[in-house]
Structure 1
Amino acid sequence: MKRLQVLFFAFIFFVSCGNNENDTVQKSFADKSISNGRTTAKKFLFDNTKAETAGNADWVIDEDNNLAKRLPTPAQENINASTPETYWTGALSSWGIALVKQKQQVETLQENGHITYGDSKNMQDLSHYDVFIIDEPNIRFSNNEKSAIINFVKNGGGLFMIADHDHSDRNNDGWDSPAIWNDLMDNNTIQKDPFGFSVYKTNISQRSSNITAVKNPVTQGLQGEVTSLQFNNGATITLTSPTAKGLCWMNNYPQNNIRAMAAYSTYGKGRIVVIGDSSPADDGTGAKGNKLHDGWNAVGENHSNFFINASLWLAKLQ
Structure 2
Amino acid sequence: MKNIKIFNKALLKTAQALSLASVFSLNFANAATPYAWNNIAPVKTPSSTNNNGKTVLFDVSHGGVEGNADWVIDGAFSDFADALVIQGYTVKEYRGIDYNQDGVIRFHDDRVNNTPQNEAVITYDAIKNSDVFVLAETNRPFTLSEQTALIQYVNAGKGLFFIADHYDADRNLNTWDATEVFNGYNRSDLEKYNLGGQYGDWRNPKDAYSGWLVENFGIRFRFNAIDYKAGISGIKSPSETEGITQGAQPVLMAGGATLAIVDEQKAKGLVYFSENDKPTKWRHAKDSGLYFGGEAEGPYVAIAKSGKGKAAFIGDSSPIEDTTPKYKRQDNGNSKKTYPGWTDSGNAAQLSVNIINWLAKTENYTSFNNEDGHISGMVTPDAMATQEFTDPNNGNPWGTPASGFNAWDTDSYKNNAFNAAFGDIQGEPDPTPDPTTNISVSEALKMPQGSNVTVVGKVTAAVNGIYALELSDINDISSHIFVKLESTQRSDFNPQLNPEILNQHIIVTGIRNSYMNEAGIRNVSKIALAPTALSVKQALASAKGELITLTGKVKSALNDIYALVLVDNNSDLTINIKLESNQRSQFSPQLNPELLDAQLLIKGVRDSYMGGDGVRQVSNIELVSNNTPTTPEGLTVSQALALQNGTLVTVIGEIKSAINGQYALALIDADNQFETLYIKLESNHRDTFSPQINPQNIGKKIRVTGIRNDYMNELGVKYVSDISFIN
Q: Does 1:246 align with 2:275?
A: no
Check conservation: 1:156, 1:269, Cα contact below 8 A.
Answer: yes
Contact in 2 for aligned 1:217/1:310 (Cα 8 Å): no
- 1:259 equivalent in alignment to 2:282: no
**Aligned with residue 42 of structure 1, among 45, 49, 54:** 54
Q: Contact between 2:237 and 2:245, CA under 8 Å: does it hold in 1?
A: no
Structure 2 CA distance for partners of 1:192 and 1:135, relative to 1, 3 Å:
closer
**How far, CA to CA, are the matches of 1:152 and 1:186 in structure 2?**
21
Cα distance in structure 1, aligned partners of 2:83 and 2:89: 9
Match of 2:358 among 298, 310, 313: 313
State the distance in 2 between where 1:98 and 1:234 align: 23
TM-score of the superposition, structure 1-length normalised? Answer: 0.72
Deviations 1:204-228 (A, max 9, x none): 011211111352245434xxx1121
Q: Judge conservation of contact 2:319–2:346 (CA < 8 Å) in 1.
A: no
Quote the Cα distance in structure 1 between the aligned partners of 2:210 and 2:338: 32
Matches of 1:99 and 1:267, distance apart in 2: 24
Question: Residue deviations 1:54-97, cap 9 Å, x none?
Answer: 111101111xxxxxxxxxxxxxxxxxxxxxxxxxxx11000111
Matched AA of 2:267:
A
SS in 2 for 1:201: coil
What is the aligned partner in structure 1 of residue 219 from structure 2? Answer: 197
Structure 1, 94-103 or 246-255: larger mean CA deviation: 246-255
Q: Which amino acid aligns with 1:310?
A: I
> Of residues 105, 121, 130 in structure 2, which corresponds to 1:114?
121
Shift of residue 280 of structure 1? Answer: 0.9
CA distance in 1, matches of 2:244, 2:159: 17
- Counterpart check, 1:231 vs 2:253: yes
| Distance (Å, rounded) in 2 between the aligned partners of 1:46 and 1:53 | 12
The answer on whether the counterparts of 1:35 and 1:41 sit within 8 Å (CA) in structure 2 is: no
Label 1:51 to 1:217 Cα distance change in 2 as closer, same or farther (>3 A).
same
Aligned counterparts of 1:53 and 1:309: Cα–Cα separation in 2: 24
- Separation (CA, whole Å) in 2 of partners of 1:167 and 1:198: 16
Unaligned stretches of 5+ in structure 2? 1-44, 97-104, 106-119, 186-208, 276-292, 329-334, 364-727
Deviates more, 1:46-55 or 1:285-294: 285-294
Aligned to 2:135: 134
Name the CA shift for 1:297/1:200 in 2 (closer, same or farther; >3 Å): same
Structure 2 CA distance for partners of 1:163 and 1:43, relative to 1, 3 Å: same
Distance 2:84 2:147 in 1: 26
Aligned equivalent of 2:71: 59
- Once residues 283 and 163 of structure 1 are traced to their aligned partners in structure 2, the CA distance between those partners, rounded to angstroms, is 16
Counterpart for residue 173 of structure 2: 172
- Partners of 2:72 and 2:214 in 1: how far apart? 30
Distance verdict in 2 for CA 1:227–1:317, change over 3 Å = farther
Q: Is the strand fraction higher in 1 or 2?
A: 2
Q: Cα distance, 1:114 vs. partner?
A: 2.8
1:290 counterpart = 2:291: no
Equivalent-residue separation in structure 2 for 1:213 and 1:178 (angstroms) = 27
* Structure 1: tracts of 5 or more residues without a match: 1-33, 63-89, 120-124
Distance in 2 of aligned mates of 1:105 and 1:267: 25
Displacement after TM superposition at 1:40 (Å): 3.0
Question: CA offset at residue 162 of structure 1?
Answer: 0.7
Is 140-149 or 280-289 further displaced after alignment? 280-289
Structure number with larger C-alpha Rg: 2
Q: 1:209 aligns with which of 233, 239, 246?
A: 233
Contact 2:253 2:319 (C-alpha < 8 Å) held by counterparts? yes
Structure-2 separation of matches of 1:240 and 1:133: 23
Partner of 2:5: none
Q: How far apart are residue 51 of structure 1 and its match?
A: 2.1
How far, CA to CA, are the matches of 1:174 and 1:302 in structure 2?
29
Cα deviations by residue, 1:279-308 (Å, 9 ceiling, x for unpaired): 11111211261111110110x334111100
CA contact (8 A) 1:226 1:303 kept: yes
Structure 2: how far apart are the matches of 1:220 and 1:108?
27
- Contact 1:52–1:137 (8 Å) recurs in 2: yes
Look up the match of 2:633: none
| Alignment-derived partner of residue 149 in structure 2 | 148
Aligned residue type for 2:146: E
CA distance in 2, matches of 1:46, 1:218: 24
TM-superposed deviation, 1:259:
2.1
Matches of 1:211 and 1:227, distance apart in 2: 8
Decide whether aligned partners of structure 1 residues 220 and 236 sit closer, same or farther in structure 2, where only a CA change above 3 A counts: closer
Q: Is the 8 A contact 2:272 2:301 kept in 1?
A: yes
SS of match in other structure, 2:313: strand
* One-letter amino acid of the counterpart of residue 52, structure 1: G
Give 2:218's aligned amino acid.
G
CA 116–195 in structure 1, closer or farther in 2 if over 3 Å, else same = same
RMSD: 2.3
CA separation in 1, counterparts of 2:161 and 2:178? 13
CA distance in 1, matches of 2:57, 2:236: 28
Report what 1:103 is aligned to. 88
1:220 is matched with 245
Bigger RCO of structures 1 and 2 (CA < 8 A, at least 6 apart): 1
Report how far residue 155 of structure 1 moved. Answer: 1.7
1:236 and 1:187, CA in 2 relative to 1: closer, same or farther beyond 3 A?
closer
TM-score in terms of structure 2 length: 0.32
Q: Are 2:319 and 2:347, in contact at CA under 8 Å, matched by a contact in 1?
A: no
The separation in 2 between residues aligned to 1:107 and 1:229, in whole angstroms, is 26
| DSSP 3-state at the match of 2:223 | strand
Q: What secondary structure does 1:151 align onto?
A: helix
Q: d(CA) in 2 for partners of 1:218 and 1:201?
A: 29
Q: Is the 8 A contact 1:297 1:303 kept in 2?
A: no
Percent of residue pairs bearing the same amino acid type: 33
Local SS of the residue matching 2:53: coil
